[in-house]
Chain A
Amino acid sequence: EPEVTQTPSHQVTQMGQEVILRCVPISNHLYFYWYRQILGQKVEFLVSFYNNEISEKSEIFDDQFSVERPDGSNFTLKIRSTKLEDSAMYFCASSETGRGDGYTFGSGTRLTVV
C-alpha cells in the first residue's frame, strides 16, 4: 500500500538552529499538508500546499516556518530559528483530491528543541 514517508523519525536540535523536516508524499497525490502535535495534545493544522503554492495556513505558521517542494517528490517544512515550544511531533500528509478519499499521514518526525 502506498505510504507517506517522513525523515528523520526523530531530530534533536539546539534552540535558535534551523531545522528541515522532509516528506515524500504518495506519488499521484496533489495536495500536501503539515500538522503538528505537541505532546499529549491534539493534532493541529499548520499549512496546506497545492499547485506549488500555499493554499491555506494557520496562525501557528508564522514567518519562522516555510514549506517547499524542491523537486517532484520531496515536500519540506523549514523552521528558521527553533524555539523550545516548537518541540512536537510533526506530521506530513497528502491527499489525491483534497476531499476525503486517500488522505494519508506519514509516521511523523519527533522534533526536540533543547
Chain B
Amino acid sequence: AQKITQTQPGMFVQEKEAVTLDCTYDTSDQSYGLFWYKQPSSGEMIFLIYQGSYDEQNATEGRYSLNFQKARKSANLVISASQLGDSAMYFCAMREALYNQGGKLIFGQGTELSVKP
C-alpha cells in the first residue's frame, strides 16, 4: 500500500490565486512528521514546511500553509497568492517513528504545478 499518495499529477493555477496540493498518508505510528518539498526544473529539493503529528496548530511559512487533518490522514499544502516562480514539482513526504533512530523520509509521486500569467 502507498504510504504517501498525491493524487494530482498536474495542476494549473492563475497567478495571484491560491492553490491546494493534496497529500494523504498511511501510518500506524502515533508520532510522525510530514514535509513538503519544492523541486524546480533545476532539480534541487527545497524544504517548504513541516508538520509534526502532535502539533496542534497547522504549520505556516510565509505563503505556504499546511492543512493538517489528522483523522482524515491528510496534509494538504496551500500556496496563497501564487507567483510564476512557484511553477515546479511538489513532493509530500513522511517521517514515521519520529523518536527512533534513522529518520528516512517516504515520498509521494509529486504534483507538477504550473502557474499561468
Contact = CB atoms under 8 A, between A and B. Distances in A.
Interface of A: 31, 33, 35, 41-45, 48, 50, 55-56, 58, 89, 91, 93, 95, 98-101, 103-108, 110
Interface residues of B, number: 26
Contact of B103 (A41, A42, A103): A103
B105 A50 contact: no
Contacts of B33: 99-100
Nearest to B102: A56
Contacts of A108: 43-45
Given A89-B43, A107-B43, A42 B102 contact: no
5 contacts: A33-B105, A42-B109, A42-B110, A48-B104, A100-B35
Nearest to A43: B107
A91 B102 contact: no
B94 to A, nearest CB: 10
